[in-house]
Amino acid sequence: MDISFKEVSHTYQPNSPFEYHALKDLSFHIQSGQFVAIVGHTGSGKSTLIQHLNGLLKPTSGEVKIGDYRLKADEKTANIKGLREKVGVVFQYPEHQLFEETIEKDIAFGPKNFGATDDEIKARLPKVLGAVNIDASLLNRSPFDLSGGQMRRVAIAGVLAMEPEVLVLDEPTAGLDPKGQQEVMDMFYRLHHEKGLTTILVTHSMEDALKYADHVIILEQGKKHLEGKPETIFVQKDRLKQVQLDVPEEIQFLMDLEARLGIKITYDKHSIDDLVKEIKAQLGGGR
């Protein structure tokens, strides 16, 4: 589903001393099937933005279009439940939303609300469990018996079980250990390709944005600061510095390499092994 924002502004508690402009005239377009990273500082409006993606918030002015759904101020959106079924949101610390007696029931909660039959849900279970790497033997346990990382993955499974077309991820790796972070991100990346999802990742991590996204939007105080391909965005060190963001490690490394040894490599989603090969080649055939 294509997503487009047209001059979207959102103001919290308008006309009060607590008035706060979270988004200001924000416009962008996301094509169906893209992996988009939204990067910005705390308070840059990221969380407000993603709540517009499934109608939890409405713009105070401007227009949001998600597929055929339209969100506009003072206009009732038809079939908002249908929109929420198609756009799955994994919120920050999604394990906080677990509540059922068993893991199975909790995963089934979303799909059931959207009218999936028990048989359908049974059929989806093995797939989502496999995706998040949770063993089927745990299904009858209470979600509160699990470790933090497992709880996170069960909560994610609950969103995946809704079989959304758009997946919105709000810092899905916050609070996980490095290995867990890598696993979760790789899982989302795999799902993105396997199911042809449109994925929107909100993150603090420049490295993740560079590695996974094919489009990056940088927000600053509710406005769009930069937008474009990660390879072109993340080399603009000065522009990033303006909003207290750093260049991703990989790019910084390549910049240092060029400054010290005069080796020029343009980053193009290299893996570490590929980079090593390329550097070796440039240094003159692996001495």
Partner 1 sequence: MASSLIIGQYVPADSVVHKLDPRTKIMMIFTFVIIVFFANNAYSYLWLTVFSLSAAALTKVKPRFLLKGLKPVWFLIVFTFLLHLFVTREGDVLTTLLGFPVYSGALIQGFQISLRFFLLILVTSLLTLTTTPIEITDAIETLLHPLKKIKFPVHELALMMSISLRFIPTLMQETEKISKAQASRGVDFKTGPLKERIQAVVPLLVPLFVSAFKRAEELAMAMEARGYRGGEGRTRLRELEIVARDYVAIGLFLVVMVGLFYLRT
Q: Which positions lie near partner 1, rule CB under 8 A?
A: 12-13, 15-18, 51, 54, 56, 81, 84-85, 87-89, 91, 94, 96-99, 109-110, 112-114, 144, 158-159, 162
**Could you write out the DSSP letters of every residue in 11-64?**
EESTTSTT-EEEEEEEEEEE-TT-EEEEEE-TTSSHHHHHHHTTTSS--SEEEE
Q: In three state form, how does the secondary structure of 80-127 look?
A: HHHHHHHEEEECCCHHHHCCCCCHHHHHHHHHHHCCCCHHHHHHHHHH
Judged by CB, which is closer to partner 1: 144, or 277? 144
The DSSP letter of residue 75 is: B
Buried b / exposed e along 118-140 (16+ C-beta atoms within 10 A)? eeebeebbeebbebbebeeebbe
Q: How far is the CB of 160 from partner 1 (least distance, A)?
A: 11
Judged by CB, which is closer to partner 1: 102, or 236? 102
Judged by CB, which is closer to partner 1: 105, or 211? 105
Residue positions counted in the chain = 287
Judged by CB, which is closer to partner 1: 84, or 225? 84
Q: How far is the CB of 142 from partner 1 (least distance, A)?
A: 11
Q: How far is the CB of 270 from partner 1 (least distance, A)?
A: 36
Judged by CB, which is closer to partner 1: 130, or 144? 144
Task: Report CA-CA distances (Å) from 281 to 261, 263, 265, 267, 276.
Answer: 14, 10, 11, 15, 9
Q: How far is the CB of 224 from partner 1 (least distance, A)?
A: 24
Q: How far is the CB of 261 from partner 1 (least distance, A)?
A: 49
